[in-house]
Amino acid sequence: DVKVTQSSRYLVKRTGEKVFLECVQDMDHENMFWYRQDPGLGLRLIYFSYDVKMKEKGDIPEGYSVSREKKERFSLILESASTNQTSMYLCASSLFTAGGVDTQYFGPGTRLTVL
């Protein structure tokens, strides 16, 4: 089974802090994704990566950056956390499939609260 792990289930940070969210997958997947989930808004894509050191902006990249130095690890960085970044953050991974999107496998999520 695919396993996607996230470094924290719950995180509380203060406004202005730099926040790192880590995600690791163990299935040698090329693609990795960061989403945020908010009630009534569903999942919105922040960034994704299709290879080591490669990244693409998603639908809501403002205020976030990412890092992918190793294939299995994809980090989401909040450079200066703000209260409107309080949310559930979900990481996912998938195989690269020519011609379309393959099934994404999700981690358990990190519930971030910014005070």
Partner 1 sequence: AQSVAQPEDQVNVAEGNPLTVKCTYSVSGNPYLFWYVQYPNRGLQFLLKYITGDNLVKGSYGFEAEFNKSQTSFHLKKPSALVSDSALYFCAVSPDISNFGNEKLTFGTGTRLTIIP
For partner 1, the closer of residues 52 and 80 by Cβ is: 52
87 binds partner 1 (CB under 8 A): no
Stretch that binds partner 1, among 12-20, 63-71, 72-80, 89-97 (CB under 8 A): 89-97
* 81 token code pair: 């956390």
Sheet strands side by side (includes 73-78):
4-6, 19-25, 73-78, 64-70
Contacts 24+ apart (CB under 8 A), 48-57: 49/74, 50/96
56 binds partner 1 (CB under 8 A): yes
112 binds partner 1 (CB under 8 A): no
Among 66, 78, 92, 114, binds partner 1 (CB under 8 A): 92
Count residues contacting partner 1 (CB under 8 A)? Answer: 30
- Answer for the pair 94, 103: CB distance below 8 angstroms, yes or no: yes
